[in-house]
Amino acid sequence: MTVRSEDHTRLDVAPGAMDAKRESVREGVESYLIGLALSALLTAAAFYFAQSQWIWGPSIPVALTVLAVAQIGVHLVFFLHLTTGPDNVNNALALAFGTLIVALVIGGTLWIMYHMNMNMPPIERMPTPVAEVARHRTATGVIETASAAPVAAKVAGVVRALTCDVGTRVQRGQLCATIDAPALDRAVAQSEGRLRTAQERVKHDQAALDAAQARPQRGAGAKRRIETLQEEVGRDQRSVAPLQQELDAAKAKLADARIVAPTDGVVLLRNVEPGQAVTPNLEQPIFLFAPDATTVEFRVSLPGSLAAALKPGEKVVFTVDQLQEQSFDGEIFRVAPAQSGEAAEVVVTASNPRAALKPGMKATIRTPAE
């Protein structure tokens, strides 16, 4: 090493910089700006060629590689000042050594991982239990624009009140008509009376049992009395549950006397007048509702045993194949009874405010298996 080099080393000057041509501050700044411009140009070119149609597709990786190498050159020359000075050999050797170490670390890691992957024993996967697979059954339908929804009378009686007319805008569940069905009213009143009598009997027998147990035991006769009262209380309590079910069924039939809108929309047709007698007839609807334009529907076919478990108004979740099996919320709108030897038809409706669901898309729902 020359005396001049030793002087620059003591002054903490980078090797090679002392033998390069002396540059002013302005020239140094210009060098950095040129490097910045070239670096930005090469970066922009890489993004452009990656999406451009001017280059043949398979040659794009080659072009990006060339641009990457050029980018490295720009950084070495304009930012790291790797020049051709006599003492710049040290910089070149340090750069080469660093590149070698990085290549050894990355290459060695990849080789070790590849070797371990090739020599690892296969992983045994646990088989899926058959019961888990058979727990659900799928059914697929095609999405279409929601059709008009007819509503027929479910009970016989006389139309007592009408609150909806043609053109009326309704919301789902809104009351549109009430059918006066005295027989159903009487059935509910009778069921309530029988249930109330049974509950009173339970209270009376329970009070008698409590009083008997509170008295001091005076022999076998008192014990037999307590046992008899316990049996009566148990028998009375068991009689309450069927009477409660009977009352619930009677109220459900009476609820059918209330005609409500099945969906948000507009009344298209009304076939009844106040005071008119109606009978259950699905082929002669008394109202026809047009759903909103943001409502879609699809139909699936299910065995009668599965369709019987689905009730109108029940919430369901379905997926759409064309939307990467994205999940949507739907509702059972109608369940057509199964004919002999045929599957039942289930209609599912869904709100579509953002128009993501389009006619023709395939929708799939999961139902419990048979």
Q: Which two tokens stand for residue 9?
A: 């080393």
24 and 96 in one domain?
Answer: yes
8 and 49 in one domain?
Answer: yes
Q: What is the pLDDT of residue 37?
A: 92
> Residue 137 half-sphere exposure, CB side, CA atoms within 13 Å?
11
Can you give the pLDDT of all 370 residues of the chain as single tens digits? 444 445 544 444 544 444 445 557 777 788 889 989 998 998 988 888 888 777 777 788 888 888 888 888 888 788 777 776 666 777 777 777 777 888 888 888 888 888 887 777 666 555 544 444 445 677 888 888 887 888 888 888 888 888 888 888 888 888 899 988 888 888 889 999 998 998 898 898 888 888 888 777 666 777 888 888 888 888 888 888 898 999 898 888 888 888 888 888 888 888 888 888 888 877 788 888 888 777 888 888 887 777 777 888 888 888 888 887 788 888 888 887 766 667 788 888 888 877 788 888 888 887 765 5
232 part of a folded domain: yes
262 and 342 in one domain?
Answer: no
110 and 50 in one domain?
Answer: yes
226 part of a folded domain: yes
367 and 352 in one domain?
Answer: yes
Beta strands in the chain (DSSP E): 136-142, 144-145, 149-151, 157-162, 169-170, 175-180, 258-260, 265-270, 277-278, 287-291, 295-302, 315-320, 326-335, 344-351, 362-368
268 and 156 in one domain?
Answer: yes
108 part of a folded domain: yes
240 and 189 in one domain?
Answer: yes
Buried b vs exposed e over 73-98: b needs ≥16 C-beta within 10 Å? ebebebeebbbebebbeebeeeeeee
Report whether 271 contacts 240 (CB < 8 A). no
10 and 103 in one domain?
Answer: yes
Give the strand order in the sheet containing 287-291.
Answer: 149-151, 287-291, 265-270, 169-170
Q: What is the pLDDT of residue 134?
A: 43
70 part of a folded domain: yes
Q: 């002087």: which residue's tokens?
A: 7
127 part of a folded domain: no
Report the number of distinct structural domains present in the chain.
Answer: 4
DSSP 38-75: HHHHHHHHHHHHHH-SSS-GGGHHHHHHHHHHHHHHHI
How is residue 336 annotated by DSSP? Answer: P
Q: Which domain holds residue 301?
A: 134-146+292-370
Q: Torsions phi, psi of 93, nearest 5?
A: -65, -40
**Angle in degrees, CA 125, 129, 130, rounded to 5:** 130
124 part of a folded domain: no
Tell if the pTM clears 0.75, that is, is over it.
no
Where residue 269 sits, what CATH number does that domain have? Answer: 2.40.50.100
